[in-house]
Chains A and B, each alone.
Chain A
Amino acid sequence: MKLIEVQDLRVRFPVTGGVFARKIGEVRAVDGVSFTLERGETLGLVGESGCGKSTVGRAVINILRSMSHGVEISGKILYHHKNGVVDLAGLSRSQMRPYRSDIQMIFQDPYSSLNPRMTVNQIVEEPLKIHTKDSAQGRRRKVAELLGKVGLTAEQSNRYPHEFSGGQRQRIGIARALATNPQIIIADEPVSALDVSIQAQVINLMMDLQDEFQLSYIFIAHDLSVVRHISDRIAVMYLGNIVEVGPAELIYNAPLHPYSRALLSAVPRPDPDAPKDRRIQLGGDVPSPLRKPSGCAFRTRCPIARPSCADAVPPLEEKEGRWVACPWVPQSGLS
């Protein structure tokens, strides 16, 4: 069952300059992205810095307008809730309110996303105060229950964030996100700031909570091995577009798009005997989104680019069980 349906989402940030801060350009952070999120599934969004993966997450939770002045958003973000369908992209702050409790977010940095002047109790209780009509006693019971779910003890609930380690703080952030019984959780690099031995704990916790509460995740990360482990489907982004989307196993074991291939081949493997020549080296850097190449944005670094790639953005087409935005694949002799 569809929960979120994103259709041709475009997000443009103005670039200002000069004394009067006039608009001198724009960054097309998201440039025509469409995908769906099913109930109970995890969609992994991967790509390198600047590819727009975080912006997509923020667009779905509809916080871009509050974060950035003058941002232009077009396209549709359809949310299929129990009483019908609503387009989140067009909603104002107050119109968004009823749906806020359904869509929550977990942030990358567990240090800066928790208010240092609030105790854990207060942090987790705050969304309950805003979104529910529970009594003070009911809220306290709920907070204790949530903290138990994420593996924190009742004695820890009166402490402040600085008294916790990174992993524990991420647990507090997860408890806060769960407080309003959300349908969807957008997790933006939830384990990147954590130590290796702690990452596995948090991933396990997120998978357990998903089973228990039937959560749907949009899991945004650049660590591809972690994304693969938790995701049902994966979308690979490059400079504001999805270049390939499909079942996690397929994308990982047999990527088709030349960018997905290069990205996955670059992931280091924890095996000293892994063949080193498997890497597809990409020349150069990701172009600045201010000067995005015409047509297929990847053509400037693509090993199989042709002159016609500059003409139009290639659409996603269904090939070999996934969707790929490249007319030239699958190509013989490239594997």
Chain B
Amino acid sequence: MSTKQTPLLQVRNLQTHFKTEAGWAKAVDGVSFDILPGEVIGMVGESGSGKSVTALSILRLIPDPPGKIIGGSVLYKGQDLLKLSWEEIRHVRGNEISMIFQEPMTSLNPVFTIGMQIMEVILEHNKVSRKEAFDRSVRMLELVGIPGPASRMNDYPHQFSGGMRQRVMIAIALACDPSLLIADEPTTALDVTIQAQILELMLKVKDERKDAAILLITHNLAVVAETCHRVMVMYGGKIQEIAPVRELFKNPLHPYTKGLLASLPAVDEKRHSRLRTIPGNVPSILDLPAGCKFVTRCPERLEKCFTYEPELIEVSPGHWVRCVLVEK
């Protein structure tokens, strides 16, 4: 994949803040990245790092109040999604960019049949007859591997298992052939054998659509290693490191990324040996340090890190790091 490709999506200096009783929480604070056509890009981070808020901001799904996108731009095919009217952004959602969420139980409506929920998306975005929408829905269910798709169109969400519900969510998300699929922890609630099935399904469906891209948000580094081309590491509302997946795992440069990778129990590690840890706790987004966001837990910090926050710097082609240690 060459970096000269025109990006599918360009996020620039995105800032999403939430108003709380204790002041403004800077959940996403100046995030910039590109998504290229055909790529699977991972976003990893811990709870409160801002990864889900970034995803929701792209589709303007941030509840306002208390949230507010206070700055930046999200360019998709040349237009800034943040400047669209509600009518226009509705057309983008599901049609151009769609999203699947972690909880397949709560994101499906329990009182409508699966068939109606897929047909709804198709009818909303296309001028087709109900018959055509029905046939297309059956094809979608077949595509995501639901056995006997036509007979299951009239079933309700509770009649499906967790893995099957997530398949239905993928069918709904892909019903209008979007160019970008944002998957927010799509397999976190699923068992490992089902997780493997769902990830494989997402990649298979993507490969069938030329130039379609996936933004995969997860806290699971192993899932990223197995599915993504590039990875962004978020901490404290900012991207701390971006790199091609092999580069990130072989040559992590940000102390936070290094700590995360070191804390995983290795396959060949001696059992019962102590795991490497990142000391301390994830800071509250209401109480982030003034300088580098990771300074409170960083084993390699310098005096100036407390007050000075470095920019993302490209250290090798495609590998960007936000850390004073890589600054010259």
Residues on A close to B: CB < 8 A? 48-49, 165-168, 195-201, 203-204, 207, 222, 224-226, 228-232, 248-249, 262-263, 266-274, 276, 279, 281-282, 284-286
Contact = CB atoms under 8 A, between A and B. Distances in A.
23 contacts: A48-B191, A48-B192, A195-B219, A196-B260, A197-B260, A197-B278, A200-B276, A201-B277, A204-B274, A204-B275, A249-B271, A262-B193, A263-B192, A266-B193, A266-B196, A267-B192, A268-B192, A268-B226, A269-B222, A269-B225, A272-B226, A272-B246, A272-B249
Contacts of A285: 161, 163-164, 194
B47 interface: yes
- Nearest first, the 4 closest Cβ-Cβ pairs linking A and B are A268-B222, A48-B191, A200-B275, A229-B265
B85 interface: no
Interface of B: 46-47, 147, 161-164, 191-197, 199-200, 219-223, 225-226, 245-246, 249, 259-261, 263-265, 267, 269, 271-272, 274-279, 281-282
A262 B197 CA distance: 12
B154 to A, nearest CB: 20
Contacts of B278: 197, 200
Contacts of A49: 162, 191
Contact of A199 (B47, B246, B263, B269): B263
Given A268-B196, A269-B226, A225 B265 contact: yes
A328 to B, nearest CB: 20
Contacts of A248: 271
Contacts of A266: 192-193, 195-196
Contacts of B225: 268-272, 274
A267 B222 contact: yes
Contacts of A225: 222, 264-265, 267
B193 A282 contact: yes
B233 to A, nearest CB: 11
A273 B250 CA distance: 10
A230 B193 contact: no
Contacts of A269: 222, 225-226, 267
Given A196-B219, A268-B220, A281-B197, 15 more contacts: A165-B282, A196-B46, A196-B260, A200-B277, A203-B265, A204-B274, A207-B274, A224-B192, A230-B272, A249-B271, A266-B193, A266-B195, A269-B222, A270-B221, A272-B249
